[in-house]
Amino acid sequence: MSARRDGRQIHFMLLEMGAISHNNYGLWRHPDNQRRNFGDLAFWIEQARQLERGMFDAIFFADTLGISAGFGGAPDVALREGMHVPIHDPLTLIPAMAAVTKHLGFAATSSTTYEHPFSFARRMSSLDMLSGGRVGWNIVTSYLPGAAANFGIEPMPHETRYDRAQEYAEVAFKLWEQSWDEDAVRLDKEASMVSDPAKVHAINHEGTHFKVAGPHLMCPTPQRTPVIFQAGSSDRGREFAAKHAEGIFIGGYTEDILLSHVQDIRRIAAAAGRGHDEVRLFAEGNVVCAATDAEAEAKLADYMKLASADGYLAHRFGSGMDLSRYGHHEKIEDIVAAGGPGADHMARYPFPAGWTVGDIIEDAARLDRKRLFVCGGPEKCADEIERWSDTFDLDGFLMRGFLAPGTARDFADFVVPELQRRGRYRTQYEGTTLRENLFGAGHKRLPDSHPGAAYRRAPQGAE
Known binding-site residue numbers for FMN: 63, 109, 158, 162, 233-234
CA distance 263 to 393: 8
Angle at which helices 378-391 and 293-306 cross, to 10°: 80
CB 142 within 8 A of CB 170: no
Helix (H) or strand (E) holding 158: helix 158-173
CB 61 within 8 A of CB 18: yes
**Alpha-carbon 173 to chain mean position:** 19
Among 102, 165, 161, 157, smallest CA distance to 137 is for: 165
Q: Give the largest CA-CA distance in the chain.
A: 79
CB 188 within 8 A of CB 147: no
CB 167 within 8 A of CB 174: no
First CA to last CA distance, the chain? 50
CA distance 46 to 63: 20
CB 319 within 8 A of CB 143: yes
CB 253 within 8 A of CB 350: yes
Helix (H) or strand (E) holding 65: none
Q: Which amino acid is at 3?
A: A
Cα–Cα distance list, 121 to 108, 124, 257, 381 (Å): 13, 5, 36, 39
147: helix, coil or strand?
helix
Total Cβ atoms within 10 A of residue 187: 8
Phi-psi sector, 299: left (phi>0), alpha (psi -120 to 50), beta: alpha
Q: Specify binding-site residues.
A: 63, 109, 158, 162, 233-234
CA distance 434 to 402: 24
